[in-house]
Amino acid sequence: MSVQYLEIEDHQDVGQRLDNFLMRFLKGVPRAHVYKILRSGEVRVNGGRVKANYRIQLADRIRIPPVRARQEVPVSVTKQDSQWLLDRVLYEDKDYMVINKPIGLAVHGGSNVSAGVIEILRSALQNSRLELVHRLDRDTSGCLALAKNRPALVIAQQSFRDRTVKKIYELIVLGQWPKKNASVHLKLQRYNTAWGERRVRVDTAGRSARTDFAVLATAKQATRLQATLHTGRTHQIRVHTSALGHCIVGDTKYSRGSQREEAVNSRLCLHAKKLRIPLEDGHQIRVEAALDDNFEQIWQNYADIHPGKKTVKTTL
User: In sequence order, what DSSP letters do the residues of 129-184 get, joined into one string?
Assistant: T-EESS---TT-EEEEEEESSHHHHHHHHHHHHTT--EEEEEEEEESPPPTTTTEE
List b or e across 246-283, with b for residues whose CB sees 16 or more CB atoms inside 10 angstroms: bbbbbbebbbeeebeeebeebbbbbbbbbbbbbeeeee
Q: Is 275 helix (H, G, I), strand (E, B) or coil?
A: strand
Q: Write phi, then psi, for 238 (nearest 5 degrees).
A: -65, -40
| Cβ–Cβ < 8 Å for 310, 217 | yes
Beta-strand runs (E) in the chain = 4-7, 44-45, 48-49, 61-64, 89-92, 96-101, 131-132, 141-147, 166-174, 183-185, 188-192, 198-202, 210-218, 222-229, 270-278, 284-288
Closest of 85, 79, 83, 74 to residue 109, by C-alpha: 74
Would you give the DSSP letter of residue 95?
S
Of these residues, 10, 19, 87, 137, which one is catalytic? 137
Alpha carbon 124 to chain centroid, angstroms: 21
User: In sequence order, what DSSP letters do the residues of 216-239 get, joined into one string?
Assistant: EEE-SSEEEEEEEESS--TTHHHH
Read off the amino acid at residue 144: L
Tell me whether strands 198-202 and 188-192 are parallel, antiparallel or unpaired: antiparallel
* 251 a catalytic residue: no
Name the packing angle between helices 79-86 and 117-125 (round to 10°).
100
Tell me which residues are annotated as active site.
137
